[in-house]
Structures are given as C-alpha cells and as structure tokens.
Amino acid sequence: MRHNEPVTADDIENVTLAALPSALPAETVEPSVDADLPDNRYLNRELGWLDFNSRVLALAEDVSMPLLERAKFLAIFASNLDEFFMVRVAGLKRRHETGLSVRSADGRSPREQLGMIAARAQKIANRHARVFLDAVVPALEAQNIRIVEWNDLDEAQQSRVREHFHNELFPVLTPLAVDPAHPFPYISGLSMNLAVTVRDQAEGGEQFARVKVPDNVSRFIRVDELTGESEPADENAPQPTALFLPLERAIAANLSELFPGMEVVDHHVFRVTRNADFEVDEDRDEDLLQALERELARRRFGSPVRLEIGEDMSEHMLELLLRELEVHPADVISLPGLLDLTSLWQVYGMDRPTLKDRPFVPKTHPAFGERETPKSIFATLRDGDVLVQHPYDSFSTSVQRFIEQAAADPHVLAIKQTLYRTSGDSPIVNALIDAAAAGKQVVALVELKARFDEQANIKWARKLEQAGVHVVYGLVGLKTHCKTCLVVRREGSKIRRYCHIGTGNYNPKTARLYEDVGLFTAAPEVGADLTDLFNTLTGYSRKQEYRNLLVAPAGIRKGIIGRIDDEIAAHAAGNPRAHIQLKANALVDEQVIDALYRASRAGVPVDVVVRGISALKPGIPGLSENIVVRSILGQFLEHSRILHFGAQDEYWIGSADMMHRNLDRRVEVMVQVRDRRLEADLQDIFDSALDPRTRCWELRADGSWEALPAAGEEVRDHQRQMAVRRRHHTEPTPN
C-alpha cells in the first residue's frame, strides 16, 4: 500500500495501495468459543491477501484510469507481492520446516497453504506481467513513452548508451565467477542479477558468473535525455518520445566488456526474495536498540523464499540456481517481460500531468483557519472537539500545527507522543526537539519494531535522545501502534490537557496519500486516560481499564464483542436502530468474526468496509445473510478504522484492525467520538462507502469478489464524494 516509499502491510501499513498495507506477522489461531457455528466458516487469510492484491491489479487493468496511474498500480502490486513473500510466506515456511502443526483458521496446514499460494501467486504474477506487456506498454507507446530493448535503439543511441555504460556503470559492476576457487556468491534479497555463461576461447569449457545490477541508480536509463532528444524544439512541437531502457538490458548488451577474452554464451535475469521476518528476544537483550540493529544486519541473509526468472531461462541455468540457492522448484515464478515492476515508479515520476490524477490539494479544516486572525488550536479546542479526515483535511495545518504550536507555546509544560512511522525529514520530530530545547518535558515513544521502518526509527530515537527528549521503546513483547499525542498546558491556576488520537501515523507524506481520521479534544476524561496510558507505556503502571478509551491488548476485543452483544440484545428487545458498521484494513480475528455471525443470526444488520483481507464469509443463510462486506480502493489508501453501534449510538475510531496482532500483541487505542456533529461526519463516511452506486468490490460467500456497480449502472467515486463533503465543515459547537 506509501506510494513511492517502501510499502508495508501495516499500511497493506505498508499494503500499500500506496504502497499498499503493511507488516504481515505469523499468527496463531485461537480456538473459537462458538462450538455451534460451522467449522468451515472462515476464509483463508493468505488467499484473501492475494485476492486483495488482485483488486489492486484490477485498477491497473481499468482503462478509465489515467495511464500513469495504471502504471503506478502495477508498481504497487509488485511491491505488495514482494512483502507478502518476505513475511507471510517466510513465516509459513518457517512453521513447515520446524514441524509446527498450527493450522490456519480454515483448517489448513502450513504445507497446504504454501501449495495454494504457489499456484495462485504464479497465476496472479503472470496476469500482472501480461497487463503490463499487452495493455500498459502499448498505451504508453501511444503517448510517446517507450520501454525499449537494446535492439530498438539506433546506432547513435546505442553509441551514447555505451558511453554512459563506460562512464557510469562499468566502474561499479563486479562480475563474480563461480569455480573451485570462487564459491557461489551471496545473492541479496530483491536484487536484480544477470546469470551469465561464458566460454574460454582458448581452453574451451563453460563457466558461470553472476553480475549484480546496481540498485543505487535508476532502474531505467533515459536514452532520450542522454541523446538530447527529451526537449521539444519549441512549445508548439509535439511531445518528444521518452525512451526507457532497463538497466539490465544495457549491461547485457555490454557483457563482453566485463569478460574480455571470453565468449559470452548466454545470460538470464533472475531475482531472489529472502525471509525478512525476524524476532528480537526482548527478555534476553538488555538494550533493545542494539539488539534490533544486530537483527537488521542479519535480515540480509535470510533464507530464499522466492526465485523470479525470465520465462526464457534455460533448464541448465535454472537447475544451477535451484541447487546453489537451495530453492525448491515450487518457489520459482517464471515471468514474461521485465522482472521487478516496482521500477515503474520511475515512469510514473514523469512530468506528464495529463496522464495522472489531478493533484489533490488538502484544505485547512475551518476550525483551524480561514479567518482573518485564526485562533490558536488550543483556543479552538476549548470551544469543542474537532474531527479531521486526511487527506481531505490538511495534516500540516491540523496535526502538525498542533504539535508545532505546543512546542512554541511558553504555557505548554509537556508533550507526550507515540511515533510508529514518520517521514524522512519529519517536522513532527523537529517540533519535539524544539520543545525539548525550550525546556519542556517531552516524551517520545518510538516503536523500533515497526516493520521495514526499523532503521529509520533507530535514527529518530538517537536524534531525539541527543536533543534531550525522553525516548522510550514501549512494553516488552508488544508493539506500540497507537496514534496518540498529549499536550499539557498551564492556563492560569489550572492545568489543561489537549489530545489527538487518530487512525494514521504522524507522517506528513503518507497523510497526503492515506485516508485517516483523527480526533482533537480537550475533554478532561480523555486527557486523564491518555495520562494513564503514557504512564503505563513509560513506567510500571499496569492499568487496563480506561474511562473513554478501549486499549489493547486487554480491552479492545472485549469492548467490541461486548458492544456487539449489546446490539443483539437491543434488537431482541425491538430496538429498530440495532445495526453494526465496521471500517478497517482487515477483518481476520475469529472471535470478532464469530460475534458478527451471532449478530447476523439474531437479525442485526452488519456492514463491513474492509480494504484488504476479510476471513468472514458473508451471505450464508442461517449464518451471515445479514452481513455485507465491501472493499474500496482508489487514489488514496483507505486506512481509517471506525466502528458504529447503532442501538447504543456509539462511534469509535482508533488504530486497531480486527487482527490477532492488533488485539493481542500491540498497544492500540480506540476513542469514542461523542460530539453529534462529529458523529454525523463519521456516518457520512459509512453512508458514502455503502451507497449502492459506489464503485467497490463486494465479497461473496465463496471468497470471490464481485465488482460493483454492474456495467451500465450509475457509478460514484467514494473518495471524490468525500473530498466534496469535507469542504462543508461547520465550526465547533461551544461546550
């Protein structure tokens, strides 16, 4: 799911549409307490994830999408699939190889799941390659954007690329021979490589060599820029043709320069994916930061979990790679055309605005601006709560300004904040440093174990510590995933607390790409709860019950299931408002699913909007005929988590998805939104997402997803509609 940043499935959080959500940890399955429900009531989560990535691919197939957006979704699909193998498949392989017999919720062993994944992954990867070759490449060429082979270049262009090769590439290439004196080289994860067969012209006999394609330069050589053809003669001239030559093609065409005196017999491209999952023993290691740095260094040497090859690779070469890399044939994916289409981000980066979605410019929430003399955020929150929805509401003029004003305000005594992921040049971190320099008490809980952001978070932790910020790493055995900020301010003779609790990370870059909601409040009970929470995270408090929050791992699952049961009781008592609505990135927790099944059996309508995986089977008579599950993908990555319980008239937002990892192994926070105006905003999100005209996919009982509305029916875009609705905010109602 981060558009041009590495995708994590935390946000698949990191699938990414935008990089699409996420970390994908191995999870154990708890036995269900509902023995009267059918055994086959869950869908397989691994196949569900592959189905999610298929929906991402469907966006690349959609000819109504701007062309470069289609290329972008091809890149997102590729990045998502890389992470799926690095984490989910790696975890299943580890279980299988160590003999762990834990079965999935749908009753399958790790070996059975690996077999299903292998077949499905090859099919979906081939579809991905064919969409690129048969649909997107011709469409790009029609717009004077060509991805070319060496032989497509004329003599002058080849000469210029050779010059570029000698000046820029040749010095950094290192051909590695394989013979009795040179063992098979280590192949790093996700690197592009050329497997080369050479023959000694004097002595005969063939030898193998490997050439790594540099990964610290652009994947494509812009041939038109090298030759000076990229600029039109004048502003009225037609758009010049952009020529993208894959780096590996340029290297392959000049292999003789790397092996003088040898005959290059053949060459083939391959790519290895390695296990990137690891565990840190927090009970053994006294210094979590140092332990994590050691494990990050080991990540490079994880065992192979996938070998991607071109479909023209010879049997002899494939046998050699399988033997030397110790890869099982079932882990080979053979593809036509280019490997690693994550590189299409470079093509997307072209300055061709007519081939992209119109740039979206977030608006400042009226509560925080659009006056001749805007009030401070603190004065605004004293008048009432504010709900923001990114990217429609600007992050920089709401969340970022809140923290920056707190850092600069002489009346602010303390700032306490959780940091799970943030941007490369983080204004949030800079504001915390400024606050510490100004003598304020500043506490930053930096989650070092945020998957694929570990190195960045280590850097932030050290920078904050050097500036005098109190940096803590959370609780042993748990990731701190909640999105919370607490500002303590002296106002006259009193202390007042201001809070932000959201569904998204404190990251200005992803806040322009991810759909998230956040609550600003000065409500005393919420401030008291956050104070207790930070005391738990930084000290030895063992508090588990809160006034206005649900906090995992102790409270969120219990709180949600209790409220589902209350809806069932309200429906049985004749309350016509009994209704459950849930929006999340994933729904795989069996206990929550079983509670929703009970609600459906009792006649309570249940609407689920899930971006990624749903293990719930909707529409089964006697079990789930009252449940509808939808998925919405689009320009922005749908990332907010929202719950609505109709009979109780309660709305909750927070950081937790309905997954084992969130409910059992993370510190998560959900807060109740109590202001009627803000409740109406949240209901607008559900109403738009569930509108019969909204473009979406709907889950069927057999696990298939049906694209809606049907052809010929009226279609509306949920995200565009939300952008329009968010322009009609109202001011806070005074408390």
Q: What phi-psi label fits residue 734: left (phi over 0), alpha (psi between -120 and 50 degrees) or beta?
A: beta
**Which of these is catalytic: 365, 481, 500, 729?**
481
Q: What is the pLDDT of residue 235?
A: 60
| Contact assessment for residue 480 and residue 453, using Cβ atoms and an 8 Å cutoff | no
Domain 366-538 identical in fold to domain 549-725: yes
Q: How far is it, in rounded angstroms, from Cα 549 to Cα 717?
A: 33
Q: What is the pLDDT of residue 236?
A: 63
Q: What is the pLDDT of residue 19?
A: 36
Q: Which residues contact 29 (CB under 8 A, 6 or more apart)?
A: 102, 103, 104, 105, 590, 660
Identify the helix (H) or strand (E) that includes residue 685.
helix 676-690
Is the pTM of the predicted complex or chain greater than 0.85? Answer: yes
Residues (pLDDT < 70) of the chain are 1-35, 230-237, 278-301, 370-374, 450-453, 541, 727-735
CA distances from residue 715 to 251, 307, 690, 696 in whole angstroms, order as listed: 47, 41, 13, 10
| Contact assessment for residue 581 and residue 644, using Cβ atoms and an 8 Å cutoff | yes
Superfamily name with CATH number, domain 549-725: Endonuclease Chain A (3.30.870.10)
Q: Which residues pair with 49 in a beta bridge?
A: none
Q: What is the pLDDT of residue 727?
A: 66
Q: What is the pLDDT of residue 232?
A: 61
Q: What is the pLDDT of residue 594?
A: 98
Torsion of CA 240, 241, 246, 250, to 10 degrees: -80
481: annotated active-site residue = yes
Q: What is the pLDDT of residue 27?
A: 44
Residues in the chain: 735
| Contact assessment for residue 330 and residue 115, using Cβ atoms and an 8 Å cutoff | yes
CA distances from residue 492 to 496, 523, 525 in whole angstroms, order as listed: 10, 18, 20
10 Å CB burial of residue 276 (0-12, 13-18, 19+) is: buried
Three-class secondary structure assignment of 538-590 = HCCCCCCCCCCEEEECCCHHHHHHHHHHHHHHHHHCCCCCCCEEEEECCECCH
Q: Which residues contact 576 (CB under 8 A, 6 or more apart)?
A: none
| Contact assessment for residue 556 and residue 663, using Cβ atoms and an 8 Å cutoff | yes
At 639, list the tokens: 């990332």
The yes/no answer on whether domain 1-143+353-359 falls in CATH 1.20.58.310 is yes
SS3 473: coil
10 Å CB burial of residue 295 (0-12, 13-18, 19+) is: middle
Residue 50's nearest CA partner among 19, 75, 83 is 83
Q: What is the pLDDT of residue 399?
A: 97
Domain 366-538 classification at class level: alpha beta
SS3 669: strand
Residue carrying the six token digits 């304020």: 440
Q: Which residues contact 36 (CB under 8 A, 6 or more apart)?
A: none
Q: How far is it, in rounded angstroms, from Cα 627 to Cα 596?
A: 8
At 606, list the tokens: 């249940």
The domains of the chain are located at 1-143+353-359, 151-347, 366-538, 549-725
Residue 299's nearest CA partner among 185, 173, 453 is 453
Backbone φ and ψ for 43, nearest 5 degrees, come out as: -90, 150
- The span from the first CA to the last CA of the chain, in angstroms, equals 39
CATH code assigned to 151-347: 3.30.1840.10
Q: Which residues contact 316 (CB under 8 A, 6 or more apart)?
A: none
10 Å CB burial of residue 343 (0-12, 13-18, 19+) is: buried
Q: What is the pLDDT of residue 289?
A: 58
| Contact assessment for residue 503 and residue 639, using Cβ atoms and an 8 Å cutoff | yes
Q: Which residues contact 363 (CB under 8 A, 6 or more apart)?
A: 392, 393, 394, 726, 727
